[in-house]
Chains A and B, each alone.
Chain A
Amino acid sequence: MPCDLGERPELRMQLSDRFTCSDDVVAREVGGETVLLDLSSGQYFGLDIIGGRVWELLSERSQDLKELCDQIEAEFDAPRDRIEADLIALAKQLQDQELIAQAA
């Protein structure tokens, strides 16, 4: 998955960035995928198996991207650099849709 990190370096996402799930989102695994419903907008979103696992981990507690990458690397057979790129891209998409927010 391509990752658009933008032009401005200060907006780039870092592996040390910490995230938490929005309280306005409910999630449910359906047919092997995770469906998210944003209660504030009424919009639905779908996550594949890795995205669903990331959501599950984040819904347990706020975590930084490095912790999430460590967990995904331990559970799935994929190179580390690809996992990091994909999780940064996913986090950006989720943040843009206000499904997750940066945690302190």
Chain B
Amino acid sequence: MQLNLETPRSQEPLPTQPYDRWVSPEGHCQAEFHKPGAGFLIRFPGQADFLIAEPQGGSDYRVIGWPLPECDEAAIINLFHNAIQPILGNHTGGLFLHGSAVIAQGERGEQAEQGKQDGEASGAIAFLGLSRGGKTTLAGSFAKAGRPFLTEDVIDLQVSGGQYLLQPKRSKLRLFADSARHLLGEDTQIKDADMKQDVEAGSALPFADHAVPLRQVYVLGTDHRAPLAIQRFSMQEALSALMPHAFILDVEDKPRLKGHFARMADLSQDIACYALDFTREYAELPRVREAILDNLRGN
């Protein structure tokens, strides 16, 4: 799937009404979904429009992006990787979720970069949550403690040999200034204190560039003052907890939704899922990591 970036343009009102919206917990529209006739148009207000053209004659989906003049290209590329690709991935029968992931078993630091294990089988854990829910910072915290991250925003699962292989994504963490400084030090250079920025992986924040079997999924709670708690979901609870973190292109396409529901049901039966609550304070993160690792060791 290729992205063709067009000349920047402003976002004029569209002639169609959106058939779906992504809305943040604060009520802000993050994306609008339109059917302009052929294909789909996804508008990210204040950022970019993406037109998704249906494949023709065995070709792949074509994606054309129009950034706003004031929007920088890196942000648009990020939208393409973190939203458009997983949306289309699920639309075409894949299994994509909104979340971050780290290697929690079997590989530490440089070992992971070299594909080596420390004796136990490798295993990844995923953190699902809403935007600004703390999943990137939590993954970064594990990375800082020597547990390499695989992805910061998109969980891409491929089923192989009875396992869900979690695919590595981009070797960057998108962090706000305070999280970047917590993970990398107070002298970390910050371009814009109010915007997330890309922080490249490195020795301080190791990245794993190979697929690792998924062991557990943690769904981050929305109460940022809640005390630390890990509670296992029943399989039925897991299914309804996972579904909101999937990327859906066409909520009106019932055959595709049924297929997606079936894939998510399989995942909720095959992988242990937990509700994770914790107080969103940097000082809490070591305790949160230990609780998660204890939970992993106990299963």
Contact = CB atoms under 8 A, between A and B. Distances in A.
Contacts of A28: 239, 261-262, 265
Interface of chain B: mostly helix, strand, loop or mixed: helix
Contacts of A26: 254, 257-258, 261
B78 interface: no
A57 to B, nearest CB: 19
Category for how many chain A residues contact B: 10 to 19
A84 to B, nearest CB: 27
Nearest to A44: B240
Given A23-B254, A39-B254, A39-B257, A31 B262 contact: no
Contacts of A24: 254
Contacts of A44: 239-240, 243
A37 B261 contact: yes
Interface string A22-54: 011010111101010101000010100000000
B275 to A, nearest CB: 15
Contacts of A46: 236
B251 interface: yes
Q: Which 10 A-B pairs have the closest CB atoms?
A: A31-B235, A28-B265, A44-B240, A26-B258, A26-B261, A30-B235, A30-B265, A35-B236, A30-B236, A46-B236
26 contacts: A26-B257, A26-B258, A28-B239, A28-B265, A29-B265, A30-B235, A30-B236, A30-B239, A30-B265, A30-B268, A30-B269, A31-B234, A31-B235, A33-B236, A35-B236, A35-B239, A35-B240, A35-B265, A37-B240, A37-B243, A37-B261, A39-B251, A39-B257, A44-B239, A44-B243, A46-B236
Given A29-B265, A31-B234, A33-B235, 19 more contacts: A24-B254, A26-B254, A26-B257, A26-B258, A28-B261, A28-B265, A30-B239, A30-B268, A31-B235, A31-B236, A31-B269, A35-B240, A37-B243, A37-B261, A39-B251, A39-B254, A39-B257, A44-B239, A44-B240
